[in-house]
Amino acid sequence: MGVVAPSKRIWTLIATSTVTVLSMMDQTIANTALPTIAHDINASAAASIWVINGYQLALTVGIVPMAAAGDILGYWRVYRLGLIVFMLASLGCVLSHELVMLTASRFVQGLAGAALTVTSSPINRLVYPPKMLGRATGVSAMAVSLGAAAGPVVGGAILALGPWQWLFALNIPIGIAVYVMAIVAIPKTPGHRRPYDALSAVMSVAMFGLAVIGFDSFGHHGSVPLTVTEIVAAAIVGWLFIRRQLATPLPMFAVDLFAQLRFTLAVLACYASFISQTIAWVALPFALQTVMGYKPLEIGMLLLPWLLASAAVAPFSGRLADRYNSSRLAVIGLGTFSVGLLCTALMGPSPSPFDIAWRMAVCGIGYGLFQSPNNRSMQGSAPRERSGAPQAVQGVARVFGQTTGAVIVATVFALEGHPTANGSGITDSALVVTMAAATACAVVATLASLWRGVIAGSIVLARAS
């Protein structure tokens, strides 16, 4: 495609970043309202969890098929269709009066969220020249952090003012504004006509869906036979899926990109970093409330410096990635992230709010400094006409990193926990072990980025005398 005017580039970035915020925000915006929703629609607490799980499951299984659709049909078509469906599904959530309709609407909303997630970065890559890709990646990373931070905050504020339906109604006017913006600003990125591999899409949905459900069951101590069956079935389908991808010239899931060791190391760093982040974000609220006695609102404020610092650093980091080698920036960021996690593991059972907040800020600075350069490196590993492929791999690494992190926390709490005065079974030692595990995973990510830099020649470990 031709040169895109700077003004259109900016509006395109605003449009793609806004839907990223919406997609991320909708993963957590219903969490605070779940008891209210369950009461209003006469659903049990256990059943109402599917209001959240339905969205996250659809978002997970939709990543690879939607990325392939973007490569074939054109990213702008899939993006705009995804935005329309996202708004219609949000309307369905607003009009829902029973659990089945609300869960179905959330599932459709998650599929649309997957379409928006995997097309936003490829659109940015096509409208920004290579020398400016880092700044676009940085803004996208900032949008992810802001969306994650905004979910609980916006959800709590809306519930203080009106009914839970407003949580989903919010998406509609914002979506309409973004859609108009997209029509005006986003150029019609051409697709690359080839047959859509429907069988691979079905296998991908089955593999990732069974894997996520199986590991989630394991983490929540579900039925052992059922959990084992789900995980084994996912492994079998996954083996067949990978075999099919290896035999395909242009695979739906970009197994061919893993022939580049630098790409593989960037994906490993991404996966390990999301394990670390999830361990911290799952374990810390439990520990802060049950071990240290903080209230839910106070916990949100204590964790906020992580997200705000990450959001503030990410655009700056993206600009640096346009000028300096990405592996160096990733190593610095992950090293800082590791130090923050280690300090958190060692903060003791009675830290002051300031002691907690500055540790969260250090983690956020390190994480924000790492994400943009690493994402830029992965996106640049594929030809422009296959920009959706690395985005799908990145999405899979994120989802499985989050799943692995949650399983690690559940396992540690089960092994380290024992009856306590507050009845939670969560002890200070359990927090230390989980944060030590998070630190170890961050160190693995650091070493992967360091290795990537050595291979690229940008990091020299030793010079010959």
Top mean-pLDDT range of 47-51, 144-148, 312-316 = 312-316
Cα dihedral: 402, 407, 410, 416 (round 10): -120
Residue whose tokens read 């986003």: 186
Q: What is the predicted pLDDT for the residue at 79? A: 92
Of 156-170, 200-214, 215-229, the range with the lowest mean pLDDT is 215-229
Average pLDDT over residues 82-94: 95
Residue 388: partners with Cβ closer than 8 Å, 6 or more residues away: 67, 68, 70, 71, 75, 118, 119, 122
**Furthest CA-CA distance within the chain:** 75
Residue 209: domain span: 198-247
Q: Which pLDDT score, from 0 to 100, does residue 112 have?
A: 94
Whether residues 177 and 101 share a domain: the answer is: yes
Instruction: Tell me how many domains the chain contains.
Output: 3
Same domain, residue pair 219 and 351: no
162: CATH? 1.20.1250.20
The residue with greater pLDDT, 403 or 102, is: 102
Whether 399 and 426 map to the same domain: the answer is yes
Average pLDDT over residues 151-162: 77
Judge if 1 and 110 occupy the same domain: yes
Domain check: are 321 and 204 in the same one? no
Among 292, 284, 285, 73, CA closest to 189: 73
My answer on whether 315 and 449 are in the same domain is yes
Helix (H, G, I), strand (E, B) or coil at 223: coil
Q: How confident is the model at residue 127 (pLDDT cuts 50, 70, 90)?
A: confident
Asked if residues 23 and 117 have their Cβ atoms less than 8 Å apart, the reply is yes
Q: Are residues 229 and 167 in the same domain?
A: no
Show the tokens assigned to 307.
């997200």
For residues 66-80, average pLDDT = 89
Pairwise CA distance, residues 461 & 424, whole Å: 47
Of 186, 217, 247, which one is at a domain's C-terminal end? 247
410 and 462 share a domain?
A: yes
Residues 191 and 204 in one domain: no
Distances (CA, A) of 88 to 115, 306, 423: 14, 33, 43
**19 and 64: one domain?**
yes
Query: What CA–CA distance (Å, rounded) separates 279 from 272?
Result: 11
Same domain for 243 and 105: no
For the whole model, what pTM was predicted? 0.81
Interatomic CA distance for residues 5 and 134, integer angstroms: 18
Yes or no: say if 244 and 200 are a contact pair by the CB < 8 Å rule.
yes
Residues for the chain: how many in total? 465
Question: To the nearest whole number, what is the mean pLDDT of the chain?
Answer: 83
End residue of a domain, out of 247, 268, 283:
247
Q: Are residues 33 and 81 in the same domain?
A: yes
Residue that is last in its domain, among 214, 230, 247:
247
Query: What is the average pLDDT across 84-94?
Result: 95
What's the rounded Cα separation, in Å, for the pair 159 and 169? 12
